Structure 1
Amino acid sequence: MSLASEPIHARSSAGSGWTPRLVLSLFSIVMTLEILAVSYAMVSVALPQIAAHYQTAQGAWMLTAFLLVGAISGPILGKLADMYGKRKLLLIAMSLAAVGSLICAIAPNYSTMIVGRALSGVLAPCVFLGYSLVRDVFPEKITAVSVSIITSGLGLVAVPSPFLSGWLIDNFGFRSIFWFFVIGLITCGVLIMVSTTESAVRLRSRLDLVGAALLGGGIAGVLVAVSFGPTWGWTDGATLGYLVAGIALLAAWLFSATVIREPLIELAILRNRAIGLTAFGSGVAYGCSALFSVLLPMLVMTPALLGLGYGFGIDAEAYALFMVPNAACVVIGGIVAGNLVARGLRPRLLMISGLSLMALGFLLVGASHSSKPMLMFFAGVAGLGMGFAYSSVPNLLIEAVPPQMQATSASVVNVAQNVVAAILPVAVFAVLNNSYMAPIPKEMVHGATFYTDDGFSVAFWIGAGVCLFGALAAILIPRTVRRIDGPPADLVDTHDTHVDTSRVAGVANA
């Protein structure tokens, strides 16, 4: 009997450790997600060249479009994965992302470039599709370590990516990074096809297209308003229109989720304290990570000659030295966390300690940022916390959610991650733009905007405060998590494992 056709209980006892096939399977999934992780940094480094080539001032759409589609597609792909198979949806998402990257690589104009980048956003849900698939098909003994490695990476791409970005862009132009994504995704897709079996776990359900449209439109409206509010003006008609429309659509989605028999997202899941707080903590971790990755390069790449009290005037390739400690510590934190969970440590403690370490990293940078070695060390502290926090999320969900609802539940967490990552940096820069603009004539710096030393301290301290708030929320995660009730045993078929949602028991309070 193949692993893909075994019932849930058989998966847990099948095998006891690593095999060459499992190693290749994990490697291919991790490499896929490392491509996702480095895509943010690579596109950010290439953004000035992209904007100059297309002569556009709307470079922010390269990041916003990706986040929008990542947030919107998460719940849809999560439900489809639970219905039709996680491996199948993982490969479909990778294929769509490869097509999006191909469009970017050959885009004749900026509008086409944005379309391609938006389509690439479906790669974001591959994080939870990957660890949900591993949860179903890997032996139970190595599941905790595997999902921790998946969420934090092996560092094979993430650590050298800053150097790789500079080399590709300087020698082959910005299009080369999108060709790199195309080749990488195709290669990883083939490896997954030959090494990874399909999950036997199924959720017999129907896709809530109304809910998908309402939720997607609502998130899009709010994110567009928050992303472009600083440019358009917070009281501008367009900003308010997108914000009001987004909130109205989200309200309509919440109402529809209470009346539709099989909604896109089971709100009862979020009423479970463990899952709701996990989603919140995950959003904080990923949002603050995004904020750190935006603030640090601005801090260190600012010319010291401006006399602002910070900055070293380094270029993009030199900046890679500051990012390597952070990326390496994310990897180390994930591997350590996975081994600790495998030895019985509760993932709740990992989220608390991870967010606390991130807060410490933010506090240290805010207090002292005049020394290169110390900044590298502080970035490593924050990275170690990120590795712990990232790894805690899938392990917390595995504790609280039955296999049939892993991808669906993880998609809710994915929405929180993308939304907070889009909103938090914009909110912090709204504070900087309102109160901490450096008094430097724009003609001296070719129109660029700089902030005071106190402004950067406040920005990092805001990040520290958000991390600490997330850590306090993580403390409230129950010490003993009672898993959401799964399907009755008589609904599990040994050859085609399906679950009829009408017979799935309700949510148990933890």
Structure 2
Amino acid sequence: MMDAVTRSGESTGVEKGWSPRLILSLVSMVLLLEMLAVSYSMVSMAIADISAHFHTTQGAWLMTSMLLVGAVTGPLAGKLADMYGKRKLLLGCAAVAAVGALLSAVASSYAVLIVGRSLTGLLIPCVFLSYSLIRDIFPRKTVALAVSVATSGMGLVAIPAPFLTGWFLDNYGWRSIFWFFAIGLVVFGAMIFVSTEESAVRLRSKVDVLGAVLLGAGIAGVLVALSFGPTWGWQNGSTLAYLFGGSVLMVAWLVSAGFVSAPLIDLAVLRRRPVWLTALVSGLCYACSALFAMLLPMLAMTPAVMGLGYGFGISAKGFAIFQSPMAAMTMVGGVIVGALVGRGIRPRPLLAGGMALISAAFVLCGQMHDNKALLMAFAGLCGTGMGLAMSAVPNLLIEAVPPQLQASTASIVAVSQSVVASILPVIVFTVLNNSYIAPFPMEMTHGHTFYTDNGFRIAFLMGAVAAGVAALFALLLPRKIEQVRVPRTQVAGDDDQQAAVAFAH
């Protein structure tokens, strides 16, 4: 049985449109999410220096630990946000992430650094916490645009990030990057604190501790297997143990959720076609984005003298010229979604259209990747599709799920984004490594792996197929979505009227 609903306090969405406070609130959340986006690129550039400093070969954990903690804690954070307030959880996650960045900055050992990076993973739930909060507190006619900007705005800082990272590393060392994160998170968290109200929407429920443990451990097991399978080997005992164990735990969570009175995620909501299809398409969208973000720099940074039919030999800093159109057009796509949804256009065709554009970008890159200008144009096309699709997803969830279940349901969509985004690149690079490695002697490549031109064609074709399938799935979404209703039993007095306001908003 679904949980009862309470709503306390005055309605916060009383304004008719944009105001300076709302603009500051949105800017604050976008800047906070930018810290998540830029974290990947900046730390990836610093891995070599960090590994050399601590004499470790486990540099991959700098990225994996953050992803693991973000995915594992997401469902619990979503449930707590629905119960106690989305602003509280957003600020709490940002505060823990700031502590993690500070710990990384002063780390005396690699183990301490990894602990700090793990805590920084609490930034990942901030994505769905932000747009869930916007849905509750922003005036109705501003929600679509605000949610779209918050979602698609992530990554704009990725344009100057390589230059900023290079400046930090050259002048102040790798620790300065984590000081930058710590200071930024504190400042942007404070901006949210002073500009953003708390949601009055509440879900009267209990914390499903068993469900949180089973689901969290299951996600962790699967992600560890997917992250380290290429290194350990897919037939390695550790890989199989993590994959099998994680899968068993996730199945156990599904079973337990059917018997618990207040499960971590309401399965009745999760089984609805608009919800599970949105989660699946969203996962494929992020998977295609991750694959494109891996393939494009490999194409551009490969030296032309290798004679592979592709490559311009540009540096990591020089690659910013390819990132710029993609990041800018992602933002443009998000604004388009916000404007159109605000005028009554359904997110469904925008999601399908976005995935179709991503598929087209993959096809074009696979066929014509020997020209800088064309690759930049194709990157912009992919960015437009990403902006449309990524911004359509939260708007679809707002249509399908009541505010009392927004954060917990969105957390499962975030899990899908993490898991599916880990699977597709693994499949693609398994094919590349098995059949399309360029036959160069080791002394010529200095340990680097190069792929044949035909290998890149196949890789981009696989990405195009995945995006095309996602577009078809998006078209299977219902043309008209009826939002699930949460029972208002055990609600007394004024709360009953206030709960009705929540549904109307």
TM-score by structure 2 length?
Answer: 0.94
Identify if the C-alpha distance between structure 1 residues 199 and 379 changes in structure 2 by more than 3 Å, giving closer, same or farther.
same
Counterpart contact for 2:132–2:407, Cα < 8 Å = yes
Deviations 1:89-130 (A, max 9, x none): 000000111111112222222222222111111110101100
CA distance in 2, matches of 1:77, 1:493: 29
In the alignment, residue 397 of structure 2 is paired with which amino acid? L
Counterpart contact for 1:129–1:407, Cα < 8 Å = yes
Deviations 1:360-381 (A, max 9, x none): 1111111111111111111000
CA distance in 2, matches of 1:379, 1:334: 16
CA distance in 1, matches of 2:221, 2:44: 23
CA distance in 2, matches of 1:42, 1:292: 18
Identify if the C-alpha distance between structure 1 residues 211 and 413 changes in structure 2 by more than 3 Å, giving closer, same or farther.
same
SS of equivalent to 2:203: coil
Counterpart contact for 1:162–1:323, Cα < 8 Å = no
The residue aligned with 1:129 is 129
Q: CA deviation at 1:475?
A: 0.2
Counterpart contact for 2:234–2:240, Cα < 8 Å = yes
CA distance in 2, matches of 1:67, 1:406: 22
Counterpart contact for 2:38–2:155, Cα < 8 Å = no
SS of equivalent to 1:316: coil
Which 10-residue stretch deviates more, 343-352 or 160-169?
160-169
The residue aligned with 1:448 is 448
Counterpart contact for 1:11–1:140, Cα < 8 Å = no
Which 10-residue stretch deviates more, 71-80 or 161-170?
161-170
CA distance in 2, matches of 1:181, 1:260: 40
Unaligned 5+ runs, structure 1:
500-504, 506-510
CA distance in 2, matches of 1:57, 1:300: 26
Q: CA deviation at 1:20?
A: 1.1
Q: CA deviation at 1:270?
A: 1.7
Percent identity, aligned pairs only, is 58
CA distance in 2, matches of 1:131, 1:293: 24
Identify if the C-alpha distance between structure 1 residues 200 and 492 changes in structure 2 by more than 3 Å, giving closer, same or farther.
farther
Identify if the C-alpha distance between structure 1 residues 281 and 156 changes in structure 2 by more than 3 Å, giving closer, same or farther.
closer
Deviations 1:212-234 (A, max 9, x none): 11111111111111211111111
Counterpart contact for 1:353–1:388, Cα < 8 Å = yes
SS of equivalent to 1:262: coil
Counterpart contact for 2:304–2:310, Cα < 8 Å = yes
The answer to whether 1:217 aligns with 2:241 is: no
Q: RMSD of the alignment, in Å? A: 2.0
The residue aligned with 1:96 is 96
Paired positions, count: 494
In the alignment, residue 106 of structure 2 is paired with which amino acid? I
CA distance in 2, matches of 1:213, 1:490: 29
Q: CA deviation at 1:300?
A: 0.9
The answer to whether 1:207 aligns with 2:207 is: yes
The residue aligned with 1:43 is 43
Unaligned 5+ runs, structure 2:
1-6
The residue aligned with 2:4 is none
The residue aligned with 2:186 is 186
SS of equivalent to 2:235: coil
Q: CA deviation at 1:493?
A: 6.4
CA distance in 2, matches of 1:34, 1:199: 23
Identify if the C-alpha distance between structure 1 residues 403 and 87 changes in structure 2 by more than 3 Å, giving closer, same or farther.
same
Deviations 1:244-301 (A, max 9, x none): 1111111211111111111111111121111111111111111111111112111111
The residue aligned with 1:487 is 487
SS of equivalent to 1:260: coil
Q: CA deviation at 1:171?
A: 2.8
The answer to whether 1:430 aligns with 2:430 is: yes
Identify if the C-alpha distance between structure 1 residues 141 and 498 changes in structure 2 by more than 3 Å, giving closer, same or farther.
closer
CA distance in 2, matches of 1:422, 1:404: 30
Deviations 1:273-332 (A, max 9, x none): 111111111111111111111121111111111111111111111111110111011111
Identify if the C-alpha distance between structure 1 residues 35 and 493 changes in structure 2 by more than 3 Å, giving closer, same or farther.
farther
Which 10-residue stretch deviates more, 170-179 or 457-466?
170-179
The residue aligned with 2:370 is 370
The residue aligned with 1:105 is 105
The answer to whether 1:334 aligns with 2:334 is: yes
CA distance in 2, matches of 1:294, 1:75: 28
The residue aligned with 1:252 is 252
SS of equivalent to 1:264: coil
The residue aligned with 1:502 is none
Q: CA deviation at 1:486?
A: 2.7
Deviations 1:472-505 (A, max 9, x none): 0000000000001133398386579998xxxxx9
Which 10-residue stretch deviates more, 154-163 or 475-484?
154-163
Q: CA deviation at 1:173?
A: 2.3
Deviations 1:36-59 (A, max 9, x none): 112112222222222232232222
SS of equivalent to 1:317: coil
SS of equivalent to 1:203: strand
Identify if the C-alpha distance between structure 1 residues 158 and 88 changes in structure 2 by more than 3 Å, giving closer, same or farther.
same
Deviations 1:434-471 (A, max 9, x none): 11111111122221111111111111111111111111
Identify if the C-alpha distance between structure 1 residues 490 and 112 changes in structure 2 by more than 3 Å, giving closer, same or farther.
closer
SS of equivalent to 1:361: helix
CA distance in 2, matches of 1:253, 1:471: 30
